[in-house]
Amino acid sequence: MITSKKIISQNIGNPIFLISLGVLILNDWFLKAFFHNTITGKLSDFAGLIAFPFFLSLFFIEQKKTIHILIGILFVFWKSTWSQPLINICNQIGLPLYRTVDYTDLIALPSIFISYSLLKNKRHLKLRPFLSKTVIICSSIAFIATSMPPRENRKYVDINKEYVFNFSKTELVSRLNMIQLYEIQKLNKRHGKINFNSETNIFHYQNNQDTLSLILDNKMVSHQDTIKFKTSFVDIEIVGNKDTSALKLLNLYQIVTLRSKKNYRKIALKQFEKRIINGIRKYR
């Protein structure tokens, strides 16, 4: 009779599993922090649906079919709005969970069949006991850890960069409002429910009062006043008249990987100009 320990030692060196595990760790802990785009989001889904059910099945080989089916069902549940009540409960008790509701992620489901077929594949690397244990530990950490590494919000001050527009201050405010609503819509799809305070015109995450976006009332805009604008991402000033206007970027806030030594100032500025300034210029 083949013991569970022997099954693990024989299969843990499967090259496809090791590659998938490496991609998962690299993507979740490094690539997402630097790029955080559609490709990095999908990459974790494909790699995870190969590595996780394969790894779990090694410990419960008799239930491998059930494990793969259940993981497929749970993946669909997690990626849907049905899981939001569970996420809300976890957040309320101090477990910071979030996910993106994006049904296109379900294209990764065929990876489960790849995982299942790997258990029948006898081609594997013969790892020494120490390396086998290292792979098991790394796998456990990768699967237990959240999809993003611990992060912090950094402030980059005294940017003081001005962007001039050939339209009125009122028009600038209107365009900025529309860009903010578009960005809020994307955030809501990515991280879950976002609340709106109709009295202050402020958007914020549920159970978090930090300002994500502030919608300005055009009726309250005076061409003589300087509008000071602050959110969790930027500090800006808006000036102008009936013919021209300008937006001055004072400070930037960027969520980055904890303890990272990289200077994200240029990256944050580039993202701001791409998402906000270019959006304002192109908006019609």
92 burial class (0-12, 13-18, 19+ CB within 10 angstroms)?
A: exposed
Residue pLDDT, tens place only, 270-280:
888 888 899 89
Q: Is residue 192 over pLDDT 70? A: no
Predicted local distance difference test score (pLDDT) of residue 207 = 64
Token couple for 234: 């930027």
- Using pLDDT thresholds of 50, 70 and 90, give the confidence band for residue 78: confident
Per-residue pLDDT of 250-275, as tens digits, reads 888 876 655 556 677 888 888 888 88
Give me the pLDDT at residue 222, please.
67
First to last CA, the chain: 71
Residue 77, token pair as written in the block: 């549940």
Angle at 206 (CA atoms; ends 102, 252), nearest 5 degrees: 85
Average pLDDT value for residue range 97-123: 80
Which residues, in sequence order, are CB contacts of 141 under 8 Å at separation 6+? Answer: none
Q: Tell me the pLDDT band of 43, cut-offs 50, 70 and 90.
A: confident
Mean pLDDT value of segment 96-121: 80
The answer to pTM > 0.75 is no
Q: What is the average pLDDT value for the chain, to the nearest integer?
A: 79
Of 16-25, 39-48, 202-211, 243-252, the poorest mean pLDDT is in 202-211
Can you tell me the distance from the alpha carbon of 262 to that of 245, in angstroms, rounded to the nearest whole number? 34
Tokens 């669909």, residue located: 76
Contact status, residue 269 vs residue 252, Cβ threshold 8 Å? yes
pLDDT of residue 66: 93
Residue 203, both tokens: 């958007």
Q: What's the pLDDT at 12?
A: 79
In three-state secondary structure terms, 60 is: coil
Q: Which residues are 153's β-sheet partners?
A: 255
- pLDDT tens-digit map of 149-170: 555 566 777 788 999 999 999 8
Tokens of 257: 């990987």
- Compute the distance between CA of residue 256 and CA of residue 260 in angstroms, rounded to an integer: 7
Q: Please tell me the predicted confidence (pLDDT) of residue 275.
A: 86
pLDDT given for residue 62 in this prediction: 86
Higher pLDDT among residues 120 and 93, named by residue:
120
Is there a contact between 197 and 209 (Cβ–Cβ < 8 Å)?
A: no
- What's the pLDDT score for residue 1? 38
CA distance 55 to 272: 41
